[in-house]
Amino acid sequence: MTKAVTLAELADQNVLTATDNKVGIATTNPQSTLQVGTGITMDGNAGVITAQSFVGDGSGLIGIASTDNIITGTAATFNNVVKVGTGITIDAASGIITASSFSGDGSGLIGVASTDNIITGTAATFNNVVKVGTGITIDSASGIITATGIDVTGNLSVDGNISVAGTMTYDDVTNVDSIGIVTARSGIVVVSGGATITGVSTFYSAVNVGGGVTVAGISTFYNAIKVGTGITIDSASGIITATSFVKSGGTSAQYLMADGTTTEGDSLTKGYIAGLSAFLN
């Protein structure tokens, strides 16, 4: 009589089974050195214990230093947040992976069509050049934006300087400080504050002055100058035409003579008639 047969005769085979060097507890068909029910098997030759789960203090187990490194050949389920080092967090509840950066092929990701359109609710940091289509380049290092054109429908505020290599066309400018030549094709209108011009001023067309003009230097006019509607200065002929000429300190009844003296209207008339008569005689 073998030991297995003897053990089988001493116990209820539905509770304890011994056959072919295998012992089964709560099973009649043990598949390992020791099997408890269907969930636990112990292989005495390989030294492997297999169970659906392990509960208790595992600090005494060898071969498992800590949970810092987990190697599994099957799927692992984590019911809480998983942290990988300090840079990666995997939230099991929300399904969100947070990392300092992502590297690799993201074409298989859903919810991200492409990098053609990036929508973010927070600030986005780009550490290199950003190209928008083929016409706009944003250099993060120099802070320079290069574009084929800028169309601003609202307000543009610039704290520094604006350099324009070509022609700048604009309306309603508060202050203009130009090192070179300013060309106003439709005229210059000064509504207040006056115009201060240092140096030689050259005007190729008529100059209409509604108020006063103060000139400290030389002004050259290549056409007639009109002061209001009563005075015309013809630069070509050198003739000044006015409704009247009154010497400083004189009255409107006096006439300014060629030598700078004045005469009354009657004396001028009488002198003119006397001179004319002498000339005719």
Q: How many domains does the chain have?
A: 3
d(CA 231, CA 262): 20
| pLDDT (average), residues 110-138 | 74
- Tell me the pTM: 0.27
Same structural domain for residues 251 and 265? yes
Same structural domain for residues 229 and 251? no
Q: Decide which of 25 and 63 is more confident.
A: 25
| pLDDT (average), residues 37-43 | 88
Residue 196 domain-assigned (yes or no)? no
The pairing of strands 16-19 and 40-43 is: unpaired
Residue 182 domain-assigned (yes or no)? no
pLDDT digits (tens, 9 = 90+) for 141-159: 888 889 888 888 888 888 8
Residue 56 domain-assigned (yes or no)? no
Residue 229 domain-assigned (yes or no)? yes
Residue 227 domain-assigned (yes or no)? yes
* 268 pLDDT more than 70: no
Residues above pLDDT 90, as percent of the chain:
2
| CA dihedral sign of residues 139, 144, 147, 150 | positive
Same structural domain for residues 249 and 226? no
Burial label for 28, CB within 10 Å (0-12, 13-18, 19+), is: exposed
Tokens of 191: 């509504």
pLDDT band, very low/low/confident/very high, at 1 (cuts 50, 70, 90): very low
pLDDT of residue 188: 79
pLDDT digits (tens, 9 = 90+) for 224-264: 888 778 888 888 888 888 877 666 666 666 666 666 666 66
Tokens of 17: 């089974």
* 86 pLDDT more than 80: yes
Tokens of 39: 């969930």
Chain Cα centroid distance, residue 257: 72
pLDDT of residue 281: 47
Residue 213 domain-assigned (yes or no)? yes
Residue 280 domain-assigned (yes or no)? yes
Helices marked H in 20-173: none
Same structural domain for residues 14 and 46? yes
| pLDDT (average), residues 23-44 | 87
Instruction: Tell me the residue range of the domain where 261 lies.
Output: 244-281
